[in-house]
A and B are shown apart, each in its own frame.
Chain A
Amino acid sequence: MINLLPQEFLPDKGVVKLANILKTLSFILLTLLILSSLASIALLFYLNKQLADDQSQVERLKLNISVLSENEQKLFLIKDRLAKIKSLRKSQTEENLAKIDQLVSSLPQQFIYSGGEIDKLGAKITGTAGDSAALSEFLTGVEVSEDFKQVVIKNLNLAPGIGYSIGLDLF
């Protein structure tokens, strides 16, 4: 091919080189733009699908829960009742009653249980021992028993013909 342009009109070699570089760069950038656009569309499509899947899973689970809503209410009710029952289960009075029952069931034959009082703080017990041996046996029984940390003799009387009447406070 013959170039008929005068040599002085020919562009500078540097300018031509720069133009070529810019042209190549534009091409690369355009390709990159197209590729990244495609990748972005694909990524957004993928994320959108994942979100839709997750949302449908949530809806399905909510539907399951609504089917099980009666169970949920009952579980909630049970937990509420149990939390309250927990604080009411066993009273100290009942434990003291069991201790007195144990004590009275092991009384000597000559000792007659007259009565007493049982509450959450402790117990009072009164009785009559026919003789000093029965009284001693009773007191030994109370002493060896580990049910009560403190035993206070409130009264001790000797009535002729009846025996020893005694009153104890047990804690």
Chain B
Amino acid sequence: MLIFIILFVIGIKIVLAKVILMTDEIANTETSANVLEANVAVLENVQRDVIPLTEKTVLVLPSQNPVLSAISELKSLSSARGLLLENIKVGGGSESDTSTTSRVEITFNIQGSFSGVTEYLKVLGKITPIIRIEKVQMDRVGADIRANTTISSYFSEFPKLIGENDKPIADLTEEEKTILASLSSLNAPQTQDFSLPLSPIPSSRTDPFNF
């Protein structure tokens, strides 16, 4: 009988240990499954409304110095409005307030009627690549106004790392959706020399944007 009791106790101990191990493993697997399920839902949700705007966001903030594209925009906007654009100078690139974004300064003179010049300067805020007006010095030249303008154009490298696929993927926040919606109203540049950093099958998850 003692043998039965010993066998019983040993058996219960082994089975309990195994059950605890398996229930832990099941709990972990279920957690992973829940995260992955949520990730799949997020990725399917963004398919229709968000993903088509990827190119737009890259046009607004490209990965390479967009100075040529910006100057091209300045020229086409001025010629469309009959304004005189001259004395374009490009400053050196520098890091902006956020360390991952670089800034290039462009100065130019734009001349025309006051309303034409101010309308031109306002439109600069609605073009791609993104431009920020830093300073405007206005002087009267006869009947016209000449605005010596300093603008900044920005670019930023594409991200190098992407999260592991068992970590939750965050959907866009309301604020991000608002910004994205406002970007869709920006004018596309006349020249588009960009490409998305994507391949159909990424070779590695640690640096999927590096080719």
Residues of B154-197 at the interface with A, using a CB-CB cut-off of 8 Å, are: 154, 156, 158-159, 162-163, 165, 169-170, 172, 175-176, 179-180, 182-183, 196-197
Q: A69 near B: Cβ within 8 Å?
A: yes
Q: B67 near A: Cβ within 8 Å?
A: no
Q: B37 near A: Cβ within 8 Å?
A: yes
**B5 and A120 contacting across the interface, CB-CB below 8 Å:** no
Q: A47-B22, A78-B53 are in contact. Are A88 and B130 (CB under 8 A)?
A: yes
**B138 and A118 contacting across the interface, CB-CB below 8 Å:** yes
Given contacts A32-B8, A113-B140, 15 further A-B pairs with CB under 8 A are A29-B8, A33-B7, A44-B18, A47-B23, A58-B33, A75-B51, A75-B169, A77-B198, A77-B209, A80-B159, A84-B98, A88-B101, A91-B134, A94-B132, A115-B139
**B50 and A113 contacting across the interface, CB-CB below 8 Å:** no
Q: How far is the CA of A22 from the CA of B100 in the complex (A)?
A: 81
**A65 and B39 contacting across the interface, CB-CB below 8 Å:** yes
A interface residues, how many (CB within 8 angstroms): 65
**Least Cβ–Cβ distance between A92 and chain B, in angstroms:** 10
Q: B58 near A: Cβ within 8 Å?
A: yes
Question: Which residues of chain A have C-beta atoms less than 8 A from B22's C-beta?
Answer: 44, 47-48, 51
Question: Which residues of chain A have C-beta atoms less than 8 A from B26's C-beta?
Answer: 47, 50-51, 54
Question: What are 21 pairs between A and B in contact, CB < 8 Å?
Answer: A22-B1, A26-B1, A54-B33, A58-B36, A61-B36, A61-B39, A65-B40, A66-B165, A73-B202, A74-B196, A78-B54, A78-B57, A81-B60, A87-B101, A93-B135, A94-B122, A113-B145, A116-B138, A117-B136, A117-B138, A119-B135
Determine chain A's interface SS by DSSP, over half rule. helix
Q: A40-B15, A54-B29, A62-B36 are in contact. Are A74 and B54 (CB under 8 A)?
A: yes
Q: A85-B61, A117-B136 are in contact. Are A77 and B15 (CB under 8 A)?
A: no
Q: How far is the CA of A63 from the CA of B156 in the complex (A)?
A: 32
Q: How far is the CA of A167 from the CA of B174 in the complex (A)?
A: 44
- Mark A91-124 against chain B: 1 for CB-CB distance below 8 A, else 0: 1011001101100110000001111111110000
Q: B84 near A: Cβ within 8 Å?
A: no
Q: A51-B29, A77-B159, A93-B135 are in contact. Are A114 and B58 (CB under 8 A)?
A: no
Q: A90 near B: Cβ within 8 Å?
A: yes
Question: Which residues of chain B have C-beta atoms less than 8 A from A100's C-beta?
Answer: 118
Task: Give the number of A-B contacts (CB < 8 Å).
Answer: 213
**A101 and B29 contacting across the interface, CB-CB below 8 Å:** no
Q: A132 near B: Cβ within 8 Å?
A: no
For A47, A100, A118, which residue has the most chain B Cβ atoms within 10 angstroms? A118
Question: Which residues of chain B have C-beta atoms less than 8 A from A79's C-beta?
Answer: 170, 172, 176
